[in-house]
A and B are shown apart, each in its own frame.
Chain A
Amino acid sequence: MRTPPKVELRAVHHRFLRPDGSVFTALDGVDLAVAPGTFVSLIGPSGCGKSTIFNAVAGLLTPSDGVVVIDGQDATGTIGRVGYMLQKDLLLPWRTVLDNIILGLEIRGASVSEARAYALPYLHRYGLGGFENAYPASLSGGMRQRAALLRTLLFDSEIVLLDEPFGALDAQTRGRMQEWLLQIWQDFRKTVIFVTHDVEEAVYLSDVIHVMAARPGRVVATLEVPLRRPRPRSLALTSEFSAIRERCLDLLGHGASAHAEEEA
């Protein structure tokens, strides 16, 4: 194809051993290729293995079968290559916002004072100014998510995995966070893989959408989103946009009914 992919999953299978001894197939032959600098979304029903894919890419889980390739190298089971925002914000309650955000820099060997000086302008730029010395417990949900996102981005990896970063937010905050994320994506020139349950969000943000199905977890379709950027909010009202959204919903629905028929 065109440029070589930034991240690639080749025939990734994963089976979990359940406590009762039975085997559960979470991923059944997932092939994915993510081009550098693109914004890619994974959508699919709960339990289809989206977080499992992320854990495999981040090296936190070694798949039972298959390989994860990053920048052309076998990266299966190696940590420290990607910024990963897990499904929860996971801010450390005993650290201030600023010190939470520099965690990745600290782990990569930066001195605390240097890291703080480097991170502070970003805090101000991305709407956390004045809260650098606050503790996570005193932040609103949106601010916590922003802090977690900044921590992920300041780790300064070229690849960023975001697992439902806006799942717990109200619609208004969510909208603002999406704009903010797009701005950051453009500022930092990252490759972003994004998980969401909100089809509209996926269409609005992504260049490519991978639709997954559950039991066993697999990718059932890959859609390009050929909408021009920057994308105004009103884009959601255009027929192009709704055509893609309907297509996604259809694929998700199809996945579900195919599964129901299998069981019947």
Chain B
Amino acid sequence: MSEVASGRAGAAPGGALSSVGAPPRPKLSPFRVRRLPRERIWPAWLIVLFQVGLLVALVGGWEYAAATGALDAFFWSRPSAVAETMVVFFRDGDALTDAWYTARATLLGFILGTALGTAWGLSFWWSRNYAAIVQPYIICFESIPKLALAPLVILVFGIGLASKVALGMALTVIVSALTTYSGVKAVDADHERLMYSLGASRWQVFSKLVVPACLPWGISVLRVNIGLALTGAVVGEFISSQHGLGRAILYAGQTYEIALVWCAVTVLSAMSVVMYLAVSWLERLLLKHVRH
């Protein structure tokens, strides 16, 4: 006992370090005292003023360049022409029909893809063997550029709504599945032990722990998915369709109605922004209910 104790005392940290010869201290630059860097935040109205100013400058510059001939108005069109065409597009054209067609395909693809993908991701919790077997297939499916399959999808599902929904689903399902699966893998093993120590069945662990723990993961991809579903719908319409903003853009481009291209792109962007905002709102609402 005493031998052990004295042996340890000899290896006391301070003495040992100095006698062995501590490694030399690395060269340090002298202390430099300065202020914490900090940007002064502008008031909101000033920010908005700059944003509006930038937009006016861009549109005005475009119009001016087209008027002076610096920009070829045949290929680029000009804001005034776009505005005129926009009125016609809404009054006499198919703006609303097309927008509704694209929106419907997007929403259906988004909802089905997200729901199926989330359920698929959650299913991996039930069996690690099953997860291991399916893993390489998922990775393959993920790495396929799904849009390259679009012509095939149109052949199988026809030129109607179904093919656009299918493309949106193909893009979103995998994102949801993989993200939810990450959530499944991140479920705290100690939480599982706690549930089992209370005598929980597998179904109880799944419904009371795994599902609520993974929902934030599933929800976090909603905003990504709405964009992907829109891409799927538009590409589907590019390839073959009788309606939709994608078809309108393609058609206008082929007939050199560049102003109409800009109109359809503007409507598409506006729709995309609205859907993005709606989904962000939904995401916040859901997270509030799930987390708290």
Q: Which residues of A contact B (CB under 8 A)?
A: 55, 58-60, 79-84, 86, 88, 90, 92-94, 103-104, 106-108, 135, 155, 257, 260-261, 264
Contact = CB atoms under 8 A, between A and B. Distances in A.
8 contacts: A59-B197, A60-B193, A79-B197, A84-B197, A86-B190, A107-B199, A135-B292, A261-B4
Contacts of B191: 90, 92
A108 B209 contact: no
Contacts, number: 59
Given A80-B199, A82-B197, A257-B1, A90 B190 contact: yes
Interface string B188-199: 101101111111
- Which of A55, A80, A261 is packed against the most chain B CB atoms within 10 Å? A80
A86 B4 contact: no
Contacts of A90: 188, 190-191, 194
B283 to A, nearest CB: 16
Given A88-B190, A135-B292, A79 B209 contact: no
Interface of B: 1, 4, 188, 190-191, 193-200, 204, 208-209, 212-213, 290-292
Contacts of B197: 58-60, 79-80, 82-84, 86
Contacts of A261: 4
Nearest to A84: B197
A145 to B, nearest CB: 14
A22 to B, nearest CB: 22
Contact of B198 (A88, A93, A107): A107
Top 4 closest A-B pairs, CB basis?
Answer: A80-B199, A84-B197, A104-B198, A58-B197
Contacts of B198: 80, 83-84, 103-104, 107-108, 155
A171 B190 CA distance: 27
Given A92-B212, A103-B208, A264-B4, A86 B194 contact: yes
A257 B5 CA distance: 9
A58 B213 CA distance: 24
A90 B209 CA distance: 12
B290 A94 contact: yes
A93 B191 CA distance: 11
A104 to B, nearest CB: 5
